[in-house]
Amino acid sequence: MKLKSIFIILITFLVTSSSFSQQKGKYLASIYYNMSFPVGRTSDFISDPSFAGVSFDGKQFISNNTAIGLLFGWNVFSKNETGLTQYSSGNVSGAVYGNTAYYYNILPLMASVTYFPNTNRNAKTKFYMVGYVGAYSFNQQLEIGVNTFENNNWHFGLAPEIGVYYQAGRTTNLTLSTRYNYAFSSGEALNGDESNYQAWINVNLGIGYNSW
Amino acid sequence: MLKIKFLVIAIAISFAGIISSCYYDYGIDPDTSNVVVTAYNNTYNFQDVSTFYLDDSVYQVGGSNIANPYETTIINTTRSSLLALGWTETADSALADVFVSTGVTTSTYTVDSYDYWWYGGGYSWYYPPYYSYSYSYTTGTVAILIADPDLATTDQLPIEWSGVLNGVTGQTNPAGLITEGINQAFSQSPYLKKN
């Protein structure tokens, strides 16, 4: 009985090991639809969520459960207001009456490390974690009537992500993930704030191609 | 394999199309361009002051020299708005708690499609002459400022409240729009009302 148990464990180990070993060097390429939810200072400027965003990434496995990759994308937030809008910044407060429009156009360009705790290739569903580091290009615009105030800055950024991967076909996969984006303060804030950090949360739906 | 790659590329292009169609440029129309912006020093107590001196000249902001047929409208509407809020006017500036001054300026903007070209995909993308466009518009601005002379330094008078009206010129009934805008500036500043 004991010998049988050891034999089963040994066989299981060998089978899974052989499948893990084939993962290294394989790659994933995906496209994501991004929904975005502003937080912190980003929410102070535009509190509305955004349903306009897209990103692309490519990943290559450097070990059986770790992949490195690159991501680039585009997230946009926008809001239009008519009527009276109150504002306050430091010692200055006031109000704007009329048409105002607010925009953020964000282009992330990030390097990533993805970790799959479960490397069993027979598992259709796998959880994963990603750490991103890179740069965000931020274009911030405020339109008051026909007057436009604009700010462009590059920010250093970090973004942790957790997600679930589903093997939908032999080489096709679907992903659902959420990512917290933090862009460190950079340049001058449009409203004169000392800090110009930005933060938002993405919820991502992805479809991808996998090379195994 | 090729089929899957094609599918992924097709989905990518579709996504880009969907997303770009989602991006809405609110494109503020010059016809609805009028805005009234007020700003104030939130550490200044407007209840401590109640007497104003109104300069009866409307200044040309930034040294501009424009015809201003609406001086009387600007001065009279500013005066009546402050009186309606419970302030008291004085003709002697030495007796005034605050000074009130007004100014005007204009700016002209030109939008030209020749400015919008770029290089991509091995080509220089530009608007051909039969398809190009160019237009310009002028905005007019009226500013009303309130300052406390007791807080003045040697040659500077810090502004405690400002009301700015801005809109595209050439609209019908400009005097009515100016009156409406000045009234709006004071009505959106309830802290100026005397108890």
pLDDT in tens, A64-94: 899 999 999 999 999 988 899 998 878 889 9
Question: B191: nearest CA in chain A?
Answer: A94
Per-residue model confidence (pLDDT) at position B154: 75
To the nearest 10°, report the CA torsion of A60, A65, A71, A74: 140
Question: A29: nearest CA in chain B?
Answer: B8
When comparing pLDDT for B111 and A203, which is higher?
A203
CB contact under 8 A, B36 and A144: no
Task: Collect all residues of chain A within an 8 Å Cβ-Cβ radius of residue B39.
Answer: 92-94
What band does A19 get if pLDDT is binned at 50, 70 and 90?
very low
Closest CA to A80 of B180, B171, B23: B23
Place of tokens 């107590």: B45
Q: Domains in chain A, please, with CATH?
A: 2-210 (2.40.160.20)
Is the minimum CB–CB distance between B145 and chain A shorter than 8 Å? no
Over residues A126-138, the mean pLDDT reads 96
The whole-angstrom distance between A172's CA and the closest CA on chain B is 8
> Least CB-CB distance to A95: which of B22, B23, B188?
B188
Question: What is d(CA A124, CA A164) in angstroms, rounded to the nearest whole number?
Answer: 10
Beta-ladder partners of A165: A126, A175
**DSSP tag of B149:** G
> Least CB-CB distance to B35: which of A29, A78, A97?
A97
Per-residue model confidence (pLDDT) at position B11: 59
Question: What is d(CA A93, CA B37) in angstroms, rounded to the nearest whole number?
Answer: 11
Task: Collect all residues of chain B within an 8 Å Cβ-Cβ radius of residue A145.
Answer: 28, 33-35, 139, 166-167
Question: B11: nearest CA in chain A?
Answer: A31
Per-residue model confidence (pLDDT) at position A131: 97
Q: Domains in chain B, please, with CATH?
A: 32-192 (3.30.160.670)
Strands (E), B44-185: 51-60, 88-89, 98-112, 118-120, 123-125, 134-147, 159-168
Write out the H or E segment, with its range, that includes residue A35: strand A27-39
Sign for the pseudo-dihedral over CA of A148, A149, A153, A155:
negative
Per-residue model confidence (pLDDT) at position A144: 87
What band does A37 get if pLDDT is binned at 50, 70 and 90?
very high
Q: Give pLDDT < 70 ranges for chain B.
A: 1-31, 63-67, 111, 113-118, 120-121, 124-135
Per-residue model confidence (pLDDT) at position B132: 64
User: How large is the ipTM?
Assistant: 0.77
CB contact under 8 A, B42 and A80: no
Question: What is d(CA A165, CA B152) in angstroms, rounded to the nearest whole number?
Answer: 66
Per-residue model confidence (pLDDT) at position A11: 40
Our CA angle for B102, B104, B107, nearest 5°, is: 155
Torsion-angle region of residue B44: left (phi > 0), alpha (psi -120 to 50) or beta?
Answer: beta
Question: A95: nearest CA in chain B?
Answer: B38
Tell me the backbone φ, ψ of residue B33, rounded to 5 degrees: -85, -10
Per-residue model confidence (pLDDT) at position A28: 92
